[in-house]
Amino acid sequence: MSDVWYLALAYGAVWLGLVVYLFRLGGQAAALRKEVTSLKATMRETRVEEAGEQPERLVAGVTREAAG
Amino acid sequence: MNIRLNALAASTTADLPGLRFGLPVLAAALLLAALTEALVIAPTEAAMGDIQRIFYFHVAAAWAAFLAFFIVFAASVAYLRTKATRWDVVAVSAAETGVVFVSVALVSGSIWARSTWGTWWTWDPRLTTTFLLWLIYVSYLVMRSMVEEGPRRATFAAVFGIIAFLDVPIAFMSIRWWRTMHPTVLTGSGFSVEPAMLPALFLSLAAFSAFLLHLILLRSALERSRQEVTELRRRIGWMEERRS
């Protein structure tokens, strides 16, 4: 194999490694953002259901949030 | 608990906006300039020919790995002193990014060795100590994944991160301490490359440093998002437990 072939192989490996890692990070970040949004929605629903069972808690929660 | 969650969310989205947007642009511009300089402008080396051009990104990747492992060391010391979770996040992010860069250095070096020495690998002191470095930091990451998240894991990882750094000066100095076939770039009297090749080398070092910092910032944001997810799951579990 010629020098140029090895050079292309080396630069290809360097760029491929770095770009794959960059995209992997991007993909994981997007998946986590989605999961955070979904978990926050679940938490809100749980809170509302909980407040439905015990309305005084919702009132207390709303007052606390307004004060905070 | 609300305060903790809000603090996590805030640190995920709002730290250093200038760096978050400016650094990737700077890194991309520097990488493009370094690539042009290394492949087009730098002169062809008389003895090795074009294959020597691997050297610019190979050295820069090794440099970026050493820098990343120094950040792991410094962040580990900072964690043990302050017990602040952010230092643990910086340490794990730098360790993972350092492993990527040391892998790049090992692979590009191996391709150069095949062309110049006629073999993909030899147990030369520089190659051996660098491979050891790769193994140590991969062990660091594996060890972290095996221990449950919390202060115990962070403390254990910080101690590991400090001890692991001992191999960095050994790998760096190995070409001076032992008989080796590996070329020497930095000697006691300065750089052992032609002055006309220095711009490509310095540009590559700057480009890989900027890219390393960008990757560490990205990886840190990811780690904080993971912590936020863990905290939210714990909170939902606690709410559901309370209801039942």
Judged against a pLDDT cut of 80, whether residue B56 lies above it is answered with: yes
The answer to whether B211 touches B27, Cβ cutoff 8 Å, is: yes
How high is the pLDDT of residue A68?
A: 47
Please give, rounded to a whole number of angstroms, the shortest distance from the CA of A36 to a CA of chain B: 6
Q: Which one of A10, A40, A53 has the shortest CB-CB distance to B112?
A: A10
Q: How confident is the model at residue A65 (pLDDT cuts 50, 70, 90)?
A: low
DSSP annotation string for chain B: -HHHHHHHHHHHHSS-HHHHHHHHHHHHHHHHHHHHIIIIISPPBTTTBGGGGHHHHHHHHHHHHHHHHHHHHHHHHHHHHH--HHHHHHHHHHHHHHHHHHHHHHHHHHHHHHHHTS-S----HHHHHHHHHHHHHHHHHHHHHHSPSSHHHHHHHHHHHHHHTTHHHHHHHHHHHS---SPPSEETTEE-S-GGGHHHHHHHHHHHHHHHHHHHHHHHHHHHHHHHHHHHHHHHHHHHHHH-
B100–A25: do the CB atoms touch at under 8 Å? no
- Residue span of the structural domain in which B151 resides: 2-180+194-235
Mean pLDDT on B55-60: 92
Q: How confident is the model at residue A66 (pLDDT cuts 50, 70, 90)?
A: low
CA B134 vs. chain centroid, Å, equals 11
Please give, rounded to a whole number of angstroms, the shortest distance from the CA of B152 to a CA of chain A: 24
How high is the pLDDT of residue B184?
A: 73
B47-61, B82-96, B205-219: which range is least confident on average? Answer: B47-61
**Residue B199 CB: number of other CB atoms within 10 A?**
15
B9-23, B25-39, B69-83: which range is least confident on average? Answer: B9-23
Judged against a pLDDT cut of 70, whether residue B71 lies above it is answered with: yes
Instruction: Provide the chain A residues 3-62 that lie in CB contact (below 8 A) with chain B.
Output: 3-4, 6-7, 9-11, 13-14, 17-18, 21-22, 25-26, 28-29, 32-33, 35-36, 39-40, 42-43, 46-47, 49-50, 53
Judged against a pLDDT cut of 60, whether residue A57 lies above it is answered with: no
- Token pair in block for residue B244: 């039942």
Residue with the two structure tokens 């101690």: B159
Q: Name the average pLDDT for chain B.
A: 86
Domain-embedded: residue B244: no
Q: How confident is the model at residue B52 (pLDDT cuts 50, 70, 90)?
A: confident
Judged against a pLDDT cut of 60, whether residue B199 lies above it is answered with: yes
Q: Which residues of B are less than 8 Å from A18 in CB distance? A: 100, 104, 211
Selected residue with higher pLDDT from B16 and B124: B124
Name residue B45's beta-bridge partners: B49
How high is the pLDDT of residue A54?
A: 62
Domain-embedded: residue B186: no
B112–A28: do the CB atoms touch at under 8 Å? no
The ipTM is 0.78
Judged against a pLDDT cut of 50, whether residue B5 lies above it is answered with: no
How far apart CA B57 and CA B73 sit, in angstroms, is 24
Judged against a pLDDT cut of 50, whether residue B6 lies above it is answered with: no
Domain-embedded: residue B30: yes
How high is the pLDDT of residue B14?
A: 47
Q: Tell me the domain boundaries of chain A.
A: 21-48
How far apart CA B74 and CA A34 sit, in angstroms, is 33
How far apart CA A50 and CA A58 sit, in angstroms, is 8
| Helical packing angle, B85-116 and B54-82, nearest 10° | 160
Mean pLDDT on A2-12: 88
Domain-embedded: residue B28: yes
| Helical packing angle, B54-82 and B151-164, nearest 10° | 130
Judged against a pLDDT cut of 60, whether residue B4 lies above it is answered with: no
Q: Cα-flanking dihedrals φ and ψ of residue A54, to 5°?
A: -130, 85
A50-54, B19-23, B73-77, B108-112: which range is least confident on average? Answer: A50-54
Q: How confident is the model at residue B180 (pLDDT cuts 50, 70, 90)?
A: confident
CB of B10 within 8 Å of any CB in chain A? no
Amino acid at B176: R
Selected residue with higher pLDDT from B80 and B22: B80
How far apart CA B146 and CA B149 sit, in angstroms, is 9
How far apart CA B69 and CA B73 sit, in angstroms, is 6
Domain-embedded: residue B187: no
With a CB cutoff of 8 Å and minimum separation 6, the contacts of A33 are: B225
Share of chain A above pLDDT 90, in %: 34
Helices (H), A1-68: 3-53, 55-67
Please give, rounded to a whole number of angstroms, the shortest distance from the CA of B177 to a CA of chain A: 28
Selected residue with higher pLDDT from B103 and B115: B103
Q: How many domains does chain B have?
A: 1
Mean pLDDT on A2-28: 90
